[in-house]
Structure 1
Amino acid sequence: MCAAYLLVHNGSTVSTVDIAVMLTATVLIQAGAALPFTVACGQAGLLAVAEHAGTGSALGMKWVAGLALFEIAVRRWGAPTAVAAIALAAAYLSRFVDPTVPQDVTAGLFNITVMVGVPVLTGGYIRSVRHASAEADRRRALEIDSVKAAERTAIARELHDVVAHHLASITLRVGVARHVLHDADPRVREVMDDVHANAGRALTDLRQLVSALREPESGGHLFVEPEELPAVIEEVVQRSRRAGLTVEATIAPTVTDLDAMRGLTVLRLVQEGLTNAAKHAGPSATVRVIVGGGDDGTTVEITDRRDGGPPLSTVDGPGLGIAGMHERVALVGGSLDAGPTVDGWRLAAIIPGRS
């Protein structure tokens, strides 16, 4: 089609060779997606035929053969591209074999450099960009998987701590009952002794697990009593204020109705939202934290309005912590939405009540 356009544009006479070359080139173009190497070499051969025939289709075939070389450079780098480039260069140089054709070596070298070099370099660049993008996506997926796995480990650590807390309470109460109920039926005392012993062994095992899972350098709370949750959230808010953020916090008293795992999820959401604001907001940004409760569960909303100044932290990127929060919220049956707003960032989550 390109060759036909150039022929009409130049007012050249269409010969039988032109028609054959153009039809064959058109057929080859259709197979370009499936057989790029074959098509590139075939188009180079058609260019050689057009050059030797001295027809008007030669100019159009240079474009068609160049596009075929570009396609294989994008899709199949290495030996196939090199062979196709050599074939195209040889097809163009074949015109210099005929001594009756005026020879301009300088112009010929320039033309062959452009005709072969531009498609190869452009195609190689696009291929490298695609490869880099795919590699970045793969690394990002691996990082997200790693964050999710780390978050699950953190949840397991917290869960062990919660269970250990309750087992310690059971052990204590059963121990007290054993000493108080002196006149109890021997069978009852035997059962209580067994419960006390098993609870004690389970508590020892859990404490060992907690010790193994806990990261020595990790601060924060592994277990929070429900009635202590508002005070702990306020402590996190105060810490962010001391770091330079302006934080407005509203915490509903109903958060004390949450169980341990859901309470920890709310706490981690507040921590992640404030950490994200500290990383990316300007020093005079205002962060609003709203922890509310209702029939549908507990809602957590953290928004920040940024002033465009330098961030308090130089950590780049949106933060893989968001991926971890998605994992944590999903595990308790909740939903999380986080993303940029017109003038800042918003994190909103719904934590359902006990089922």
Structure 2
Amino acid sequence: MQIIGRPWTSWALYTFGAVGIFIACSGVAEFVLEARDAALLMAGQTFATVGRARIRYWLAGTESHAAQVVILPGISSGIEQVDDLQRALSAKVPTLAYDRAGYGFSENSTAHNAEEQAEELAALLHVLKVETPVVLVAYSASGPIARVFASRYPERVAAMYLLEPTIPESRQAMPWLHGPRRVIVRSVLRDLLASSLGYMRLTERLRNWRGPASPVERRLEAILVRRPHSWAVAQEWYALEESWMQTLAAALPSAVPLHVVTSNNEFSAKFAKLYAELAARSSRGQLVELKYIVEHSRITKPGPNFDAIVSGVEELALAADIPNRRALP
């Protein structure tokens, strides 16, 4: 029995050794390719040092009396997710978008739950010398961050425009829903492992060997396959339940204009009442229903509803009428 068992033992050791070498080589190759992406794609990009974090941001727009519009991307993407929206808004109002919570090409962020990310935003605004009230535009999972920021810094918020925001009240209204960690843990761990071993990068390249044509799409593709980005997503997801509790405890300033935008699809219909109740918390709240198409990596396709979103944000920013705005670089 011992003689028969030895070949199998040796085979198992060789197999584990080969797998270990493959994983190590895949990890090293992915690390090298991520460094190459950063070197090639970050030329001309702007970064701010906030504590130990290095945050990528983009300021765009012209000098005006409009409030600064701050756009918070949703989960699993960077500022490329809101590129079309920021470009459209910057024609009339000053705008800021940034890779929050270590997303995209930001580095060393320790902000993962809603309160930590609200503080990260406050620190970034201070570093960029944006001291006047801002219009917060939040999409999906960044909605709770905007709500916590407005609760902590009501004097720094001119208005809020929430695009189909994640709404923690859904758990109270529908207790049969699983907790957020249980819902997403498998997919998050799968993406983290796939990005670390280069699998996501390989599948993207096999899908389109030449890669995207535009610089924005190339950066977006690089973000979605980056291990540091997937790790940041995993940490935010892990802190999501804590973020929900913080959001529920945050009191929205009742006098701040608040527009809650929903799309008339089956998913949003489940939360229609909660969205309406959220808008009603402000004496100047509105529930806006639009039929727009949400994509994985971009908020919505250009068209009439996209134009309606741009007009709605511009209206809030221009209504703020903030004097003595500094010129944007």
User: TM-score range with shorter-chain normalisation?
Assistant: under 0.3
Q: From the two aligned structures, give the one with the greater helix fraction.
A: 1
Taking structure 1 as the reference length, the TM-score comes to 0.24
Taking structure 2 as the reference length, the TM-score comes to 0.26
